Amino acid sequence: MFRIGVHNRAFTRRAFGQLRFNSTKAPGEFTWVDYFQLKKQNSRLNMFSGAVTGVLGSALTLGYLGNIEIDVEKPIFGFDPLMVMGGTVILGGLVGYLVGPFMGSAVFKMMHRSKMAQFEVRNKEFLQRLRRNRPDPSSQSFSNPIPDYYGEKIYSLKDYQQWLRDCNAFRRKAKEFL
């Protein structure tokens, strides 16, 4: 017969002390906290990849223009050739910067392939909540700008709650001053 003594109780506490029995999250559940963490990671990855591809685009454009012969005395489209070359390098960087988020999103989707379906469902819910709670922008003014219309700066539940408060303040100010 098995008896639970003092020694056995200590063993059970050590064995099960790491488990949380009253947890509100199921093992496979995708919570809003998880969604906001992934949203923040996606945004940062897109920003980083945009910066990297922008620098690469400028460098590739500069490398190409550095290897072709241009007569500096003949204008190109009526402009100074050095100005056209400088503008082309800047344009190459801008095109690279615009291509970066596409690459960042692809990398993000490959990194989180198992969570993407749940992430997309939460993203759709989040955007519906934004549409539902977003104030009417027609009443904005210089002294009463609309708060973050697309919710791009919301990366946590605290940020979302603050956004809701800002939207309510916007509505109240718009109603009072019109």
Closest CA to 38 of 109, 125, 129: 109
Q: How many CB atoms lie within 10 A of CB 75?
A: 12
Query: Would you state the pLDDT for residue 74?
Result: 87
131 in a domain, yes or no?
A: no
Q: In 3-state terms, what secondary structure has residue 53?
A: helix
Task: Tokens for 57, please give them.
Answer: 């685009």
Backbone angles phi, psi at 18, to 5 degrees: -85, -15
How many structural domains does the chain have? 1
Residue 149 lies in a domain: no
159 occurs within a structural domain: no
Whether 150 is in a domain gets the answer no
Q: Please report whether residue 63 resides in a domain.
A: yes
Q: What is the pLDDT along the chain (178 residues), one digit of tens a residue?
A: 444 444 544 444 444 444 444 446 666 788 999 999 999 999 999 999 999 999 999 999 999 998 988 887 888 888 888 899 999 999 999 999 999 999 999 999 999 999 999 999 999 999 999 999 999 888 888 888 889 899 999 999 999 999 999 999 999 988 887 5
The answer to whether residue 22 sits within a structural domain is no
Is residue 89 within 8 Å of residue 56, measured between CB atoms?
no
Q: Where are the beta strands (DSSP E) in 61-132?
A: none
Domain-embedded: residue 2: no
Give the domain extent around 92.
27-112
Residue 51, domain member (yes or no): yes
pTM: 0.75
